[in-house]
Structures are given as structure tokens and as C-alpha cells.
Amino acid sequence: MSRSRSNPWKLLSLIAISLSCLTMTVRAQEENLSAEVKQIFRTRCLECHGDTRREADINILDLSTFVGAAGSVVPGNVDESVLYDYIASDDEDFRMPEAPRPPLSAGEIEIVRKWIEAKAPAFPEDVAVPAQASQDPAFANTIGTEFVLKQILKFVEATPRADRPFLRFFSSNHLLTAGATAEELREQQFALTKALNHLSWQPDIVKPIAVDPDTNTIFAVDIRKLGWHESVVTPVSPHKLPGNANVDKFDMVLLEYPYGIAYENAETFEQLREVYLQPAGLIRPVPYVRIDWLISVATQSPLYEDLLELPHELSQLEQMIGVDSEANLQNFIASRAGMTLSGVSRNNRIVERHPSRDGAYWKSFDFETSKGLQNMFADPLDFHYAGGEMIWNLPNGLQAYLVTDNAGNRILEAPTTIVTDKFSEDRVVRNGLACMRCHDRGMKRFSDNIRPAFQALPNNTGLNTRDILRLYIPKQEMDQLLDKDEARFQSAMQAALGGNVKNEPLTATTRKFIDAPLTLTQAAGELGLKEPGQLNAVFKLPQFTQLGLAGLSTGGVIRRDTWEDYYDRVVRQLGIGTPIAAVDGLTRPDHLAEGLARNLKVSTNQKSNLFSPGDEMVITIKNETGVDLFIELVGTSARGRKVALTKQVLPLKNGSVYRFPETGSIKIQPQLGTEFITVFASPQQFSPGVLLRGKNVNDRFVHDFYRFDDDQHRLINNPSQLIKKTISIETR
């Protein structure tokens, strides 16, 4: 018998290919790490260590100024790198960034440590801002805005007229103003794709189309492919919204968007209005929304539940996805596992899998304690749980989520005493985004502790051991089901993102947007300003110092919710355009007009607004603003059902008080929960709001604001002086 001999040249070739692949992998990892560190330094250190201010002669984005054997960073040696000592220090007098700026998070510090250990590889270049041959005077103070609008206009005009009304646009171009790497832009693109497909009941994966393929910052989607073109709400009040007979799902998104700007004096915007905004019938004249905002807000309540039309009761959800969980348990079609430790639950957790129309449906049962009736080992067939998380496959293979209490009622947040979200700054598990970030590969892996325990017990336990062992299936069988479910999810992810992606794309982008504080440089970038220094003078004006924005001009930071509350005023002050504020948004309970809101008093006859069933409630609105007002009153139930308490807009003279009801009182009904009273008020007369209602969505109360006058080509019904105030009513 002859023995075959291997070809040494072939072997060497294979070794060379393997080494080449390894080198490429290491290089890609270093580039990703360097991009992350560059972003951390840009957002957290550039105010003091940049071009305009260069403390310690360090430009934090120029490695030659601080990396080297004698520099603040010694490549490969964390112990000798004084920069690491500064950022990791607990001493507020020593650490960087200096107080009152917040310190770097533990995760950010760890990324910097890994970068130093990797010998501080060079930062990737920023993506250049696209050049513009000429600029409309309307965009004289901004960078990028005109480019985005022109690219959208070009794309729309190249689209057949019949398809134009269904186009919607998303942008990350604002990141280029402050600087962004290709890796950051790719991260935004992947996050957008994943988020959109998590919000769709359609069978096919939808991939946004790059409008600017050379830069990849603007994307278009035909909302018919997402099912977002459908109108899920209809007017239930006598008033109508002119030009918006069909309020689709994207319109519900637009009503929440706080960064909209109409550029009335710009030729490009006027052309867009004619060929796109009007034919599309958008509820607000906003050509595009920011990607980072969309993926952070639309994946959370109320948009997450509304876009997927999720019911309030678990029984209705199971009916919707074609699952009879009780029958499955009785017939042992369902499969269970119980664990004493999990990555989310603080106590025991039981999970239960059912086959569903589109793949699998998983129920988790979480416990407040692991004692007494909530000890899952006491009776694994009939246990007493506090609440749970429902996970099921969408038709496209990705997953959807619902969090419920122990009665099967939908809740928006799970108590941190039961479960926690490691990716959230406050650790709260919020339905939607928290689940997406955690279940990055589909279902999480686990080890069952119930079956091994009962297999080792004698038969006379007093429990139905036979049925327990039938329901809590062997590990090999459960692993096969998990393999199947993971493969389904990963196949959908690969179809969406074009291959395997190492890191879950939503996590980094949403954490930056939601949790990271904003610096002056970031604020300027989000406004698209050419010169960040313009904001220094603006934030020192009295109207902004009173809002708490003065800190930005002295090197401080602000939180995202503060910035969004006052974004429209900053835009107006700078003359960038006409801000389109989210005055009718469910996520914006208050809109406080300059100089008026403080002296409009909204109250009830209980100082704490805390009532018990049977109590009598009276609402009063006192006008101490110094001007006459017009007011409108709206009530919202704990389940999002709205009612117009005033059937029309009423005058309220300065110094006067409006009482609701005008006579008598409201008797509090025995329904626990938080309800809301919202007042709209303005010195200018405005049309009554329109109440929109649909099945499995929150009611909307929408006004005829920001409408264009076709003759004058100008915005009318601009609620720049509108006050919106909301108080909560607790019933216990």
C-alpha cells in the first residue's frame, strides 16, 4: 500500500492564508477599538484638549501630542500611562474629566485600557464632510443640512411618482459636523436596519437604501415594506386635520420627533415640499429623522407597542400569534426549564417554550423572592410568580417582546427588585429596547436546575414527578430547540446586516444617545453649526441661563432630556430655521413657552394629586401670565385612552381661574393607576385638537400645527408661544 505525500507548497500556502486572515482579524479588531476610543475622547475630552483649548499641550485627537515612551500614554503599558490614572481615579480633585463634568463610565475606562494594552493603535480618519459647490444663504451658518436635503431631493426625483409618497428618510449626517469615523457611521446603519425590522410584522427583511452611497449617512425606506403605511388610528372627534386624512405609523413617529426644522427660506426645502412632503401627506413638514433618535425612541414605549400594535393582555397576544399555552401545557407540547441563576432575574426564573405561527414563543416567569410559594422547587407545575417577559418570532425571523405582571397585564417597566438591565444607566428593564440589547443572538442559553433535582429524588415527594419530568425536558432536547431558535434569529440578522456582526449594533448607539451627557461640541454638531463657539454667546443669554444651559458655555454638560426640551428655542434664537416641536407627542408631556409657562398654574383639590376611589376631584387652571390666554383641557387614562375635557378652545383672561367641571366634581372610580391631565394654552387662538383612536395603540390628540399656506409658501399655525403642561393623578 502506498502512502500519499502532502504537497509542502500547498501546506505553506494554507499557512500563509491562515496568517493573513489572522492578521486581518487583528487589524479589524484594532480599528474597531481605536474608533471607540476616538469617540470617547472626542465626546468626553475635546472641550479641554482640542484645537481651541489645549490644556497640557494635548490635542486628544492627535496621538503625537500624548502617545509615546515619554507621553501620557505609553503603548502597551497601562501602569506607566498617566492618562489611564487620571480617567480611572476616584479622587475628584485628580481625575479627568475635571468636575463638574461626569467621569468616564466603567465600560469606557475598560475600552481605553484595552486600547493602551493593544499598543495604542492609530485612530481611524474621520469621514470628510461632503463638499458643496455653492450654498443657499438659508444654510449659511450650518454644515451638512443642505447636503442632506439635496440628496433626498435628488433621490425623490429619481423615484416614480406613485412610489414617492411612501418614502421615508433617516440620517446620521449630523455626526460629521463634530467628527465621525466610518466605523461609527456603519454602526448607525446597522442599528437602523435592526431596529426597523424589530418593528415590522412583514415577512421579509427590509434593508434601507443608501441615498448618499459615497458617505453612507442618509437612508431611504419604502414604509410599505414595513407595514408602516397603514393607518391604525381614526378621528373620533368632530374636528379634522386638514391634509392628513390618513395618519400612518410613521406619522406617529413624527409627532414625537423633537429635532425637526423647516427651512422656509431655502429653495431646496421648497422643492422638497412640492415633490415630496405634500404628496406624502406627512403630519409634520419634516423631511428626515435622525437615526440615533429613532432607534432609541421608537424601540421604547409608547412607540414600540404602538408600531407593533401590541395588546394590553397576554391572552390577546397569544391569540394574535396563534398560541394556546394552556392546551400546550396539558398536552406536553410546551417545554420548560428552571434556573436558580440568570443574567437578568435577581431570583429564580422559569422559562417555557411553545411553537408559534412564525417559529417559537417563549414565556419567562420571574419571582420577587426564592422563598415560600415563590420557590420554584416547591411545585414546578403550579408556582406563584411576580411577572414575566414574553418573546416570540416575528414573521421576518427577528423577535418581539412584551413585559407583563402576574395577572398577564402589559407593563412598560419591570421592577428592578425582580430583574435588571445591565446596559441601562438606571438598570430598569423597559420593554422593547432592553430586550433587544440583551437578546443579541436570539434566546439566551441556560441550564435547567429543575429536572436534575427531581431526577435525583425518590418517587414519594408528594409532587407529580412524572409530569414534572415530562414538562422539564432533557438538556439535549432543550439545546436542540435553542439551536433551532438561534439559527432562525441569526439567519434574519445576517439577511439584515449582510453577514455576521460581532457586536449587537443597537447597544453602543443607543447608550451614547440616551445615557451619555452632551458637551458644547456635541450640541453644536447636533445643530449642524460651522462654529461651536456660536453657542457660547447664546447660552449666556438670560433666557438660556434661566433654563440651566449656561453650564455648556463654561465646559459643563447637560442631559439628553434637557437638551430636547429646549432644542426648539435654541434653533429659533440662532435663526437656523423654524423648529418643529413635538408639542403633540406622547413622550413630551410638557412644552413650556418662554416667559409664560411658569405662571400658568394647573392643580387639583388635593395638594399631592393623590386620590382614593370615591373621592371628589376638581381641576383648576389659574392664569397669572400677564396676558390673556386660550386653553384646552385633555384627560388621559392609565391605558392611554384620551378624552377632550373641553369640547372647544376656551378664553381665559389674565388673572382668571378656570374650574373643571364648571359645577360639581369628578368622582374617582376604583381603577388603580396613574392618569394625566394636560392643558394646552396660548396667547393666540388655535384650533381644537383632533382625537385619534385605534385598536392596541395609544390615543393621540393632534393639532393643526405647522401647516404650509400654499399661496404664501409659509408655515402657519406655528405654536411658538404654546404652553403644554401635564399633571399626574394617582389613584390608590
CA atoms of 659 and 619, how far apart (whole Å): 6
With 60 as the cut, is the pLDDT of residue 25 above it? Answer: no
Q: Give the cell for residue 670.
A: 376604583
Q: Give the cell for residue 4.
A: 500519499
731 pLDDT tier (thresholds 50, 70, 90): confident
- The pLDDT value given to residue 279: 93
Question: Is 507 contained in some domain?
Answer: no
Tell me the percentage of the chain whose pLDDT exceeds 70. 91
Do 535 and 606 sit in the same domain of this protein?
A: no
Residue 671's CATH number: 2.60.40.1930
CA atoms of 31 and 23, how far apart (whole Å): 12
Do 354 and 480 sit in the same domain of this protein?
A: yes
Question: Is 559 contained in some domain?
Answer: yes
Do 488 and 433 sit in the same domain of this protein?
A: yes
Question: Is 136 contained in some domain?
Answer: no
Number of domains in the chain: 4
Q: Given the C-alpha cell 497601562, which residue does it identify? A: 78
Question: Is 182 contained in some domain?
Answer: yes
- Tell me the per-residue pLDDT of 124-178, one tens digit each, with 9 for 90 and over: 988 888 877 677 887 777 788 999 999 999 999 999 999 999 999 999 999 998 8
Q: Where a domain ends, among 472, 502, 532?
A: 502
CA atoms within a 13 Å half-sphere pointing along the CA-CB vector of 717: 17
Do 147 and 285 sit in the same domain of this protein?
A: yes
CA atoms of 278 and 432, how far apart (whole Å): 32
Question: Is 459 contained in some domain?
Answer: yes
Do 669 and 704 sit in the same domain of this protein?
A: yes
Q: Of the ranges 57-71, 410-424, 532-546, 659-673, which one carries the lowest mean pLDDT score? A: 410-424
CB atoms within 10 A of CB 74: 20
What residues contact 174, with CB distance under 8 A and at least 6 apart? 144, 290, 525, 526, 528
With 60 as the cut, is the pLDDT of residue 36 above it? Answer: yes
Mean pLDDT, rounded, of the chain: 88
Question: Is 696 contained in some domain?
Answer: yes
CA atoms of 182 and 24, how far apart (whole Å): 17
Helix (H) or strand (E) holding 520: helix 520-527
- The pLDDT value given to residue 367: 87
With 90 as the cut, is the pLDDT of residue 502 above it? Answer: no
With 70 as the cut, is the pLDDT of residue 649 above it? Answer: yes
Greatest mean pLDDT among 414-418, 537-541, 635-639 lies in: 635-639
Q: Where a domain ends, among 443, 471, 502?
A: 502
Q: Given the C-alpha cell 405561527, which residue does it identify? A: 357
Q: Of the ranges 41-55, 270-284, 445-459, which one carries the lowest mean pLDDT score? A: 41-55
CA atoms of 620 and 612, how far apart (whole Å): 19
- Tell me the per-residue pLDDT of 49-106, one tens digit each, with 9 for 90 and over: 877 677 888 988 889 899 988 889 999 999 999 999 999 988 888 888 887 677 888 8
Do 278 and 185 sit in the same domain of this protein?
A: yes
Do 261 and 340 sit in the same domain of this protein?
A: no
Averaged pLDDT, 233-254? 84
Cα 571–chain centre separation: 23
Q: Which domain holds residue 177?
A: 142-300+517-579
- Tell me the per-residue pLDDT of 526-578, one tens digit each, with 9 for 90 and over: 998 877 666 777 787 777 777 777 777 776 788 898 899 889 988 988 889 99
DSSP assignment string, 131-159: P-SS--GGGTTBSSHHHHHHHHHHHHHTS
Do 224 and 344 sit in the same domain of this protein?
A: no
Buried b (16+ CB within 10 A) or exposed e, 603-640: ebebeebebeeeeebebebbbebeeebbbbbbbbeeeb
- The pLDDT value given to residue 557: 80
